[in-house]
Amino acid sequence: LPALMWRGAGLVRDAGGLRDALAHLGDGSASRQHRVAGLICQAALLREESRGAHFRADAPATADAWLGHIVFDRHDGARFDAV
């Protein structure tokens, strides 16, 4: 799991690597760590910008439209809450 996350969701990430990591994680039911890893990859895939430690090689600029939080809800899925 650590090697998969480093390759797919490490310091420099892109959509292809994040999708590959998600494909290898499956439904996340193997462990809590797999579930958390999947949530990290999903949130990083949704945020199409670079900000702080989150650097997307395929979206290197910062975008004011992404000032906020990605929130996951068990029933409603992912949503973006602007600040």
User: Which DSSP letter does residue 15 get?
Assistant: H
Closest CA to 1 of 29, 33, 23: 33
DSSP reduced 3-state for 20: helix
Confidence of residue 51 (pLDDT cuts 50, 70, 90): confident
Cα distance between residue 36 and residue 82, in whole Å? 23
Confidence of residue 78 (pLDDT cuts 50, 70, 90): confident
- The pLDDT value given to residue 10: 94
Residue 18 neighbours by CB distance under 10 Å? 21
Is 76 within 8 Å of 56 (Cβ atoms)? no
Confidence of residue 76 (pLDDT cuts 50, 70, 90): confident
Distances (CA, A) of 44 to 15, 25, 37: 8, 15, 11
pLDDT > 90? residue 66:
no
